[in-house]
Amino acid sequence: MKPRGPLMAEHRLIEEMLSVVRGRVAEMEQRGEADPVFIDTVVDFIRMYADRTHHGKEEDILFRELAGKNMDGKNARLMRELLDEHLFGRQITGELVAAKERYQAGDTAALGEIVEKLKTLAAFYPRHIEKEDNVFFPETESLFTPEELDSMLAEFREFDRKMIHEKYTRLVAGLGGKSRPVL
C-alpha cells in the first residue's frame, strides 16, 4: 500500500459524513430548528478526524516530505492551494460553532447561518477531496522512492496510533486534570 491509500480511505469516510450532514441539514430546514447535539458531533468529526487526523497526516508528513522534493510549479501551487483550503475548512467550522452558540443563547436567526455553514462544508470538502485523489496524490507520488513511500506509510500509522491519546489527554486537561504527555 502507498501513503495515498489510507488518505483516500479517510476521504471516503469524510464523504459519508457529508452525506449524513446534507440529510440532517434538510431536516433542520424543514423543522425550522437546529440540532445542537448533531452540530457538536459534526464539529468533533471535522476537527478531530478530517482536520487533525487526516489533514494532520497530509500537512505534518506528506506536505513536509514534498517540501524537500523538486516539485513542478503546478504541484507546488496546488499544495499551497490545498493548505489554504484546509484553513478555509477550519474557518467555516469555527463560524459554525459560533453560530450554534448564538442559537443556543436564544438567537433563532442564527439557524440560517448554521444551515449555510453546514452546506458550505458539505459542498467544499468533495471538491477538495477530488483535487487530492485525482490530481495531487497521483502526480506527486512519483517524486518518492518506494522506500520513502514505505517510511511515510509507517509514519502515518504512528501518527494515527497517537491520535486517540492526544484527544483524550486534551479532554481531561480541559476539564481540569493534569496534562500528561501523549504516549
DSSP string, 113-177: HHHHHHHHHHHHHHHHHHHIIIIIHHHHHTTS-HHHHHHHHHHHHHHHHHHHHHHHHHHHHHTTP
Number of other CB atoms surrounding residue 79 within 10 Å: 19
pLDDT level of residue 4 (50, 70, 90 thresholds): very high
Cα separation, 108 vs 42, in Å, equals 20
Cα separation, 42 vs 17, in Å, equals 8
Cα separation, 170 vs 95, in Å, equals 22
**Mean pLDDT score of the chain:** 93
pLDDT tens, 44-86? 999 999 999 999 999 999 999 999 999 999 999 999 999 999 9
Cα separation, 53 vs 129, in Å, equals 15
Cell of 180: 500528561
Q: Which domains does the chain have, with CATH numbers?
A: 4-174 (1.20.120.520)
Average pLDDT of the segment spanning 131-145: 96
Helices (H), 34-145: 36-44, 56-57, 64-67, 73-104, 110-131, 137-141
Say what the pTM is.
0.90
pLDDT at 101: 98
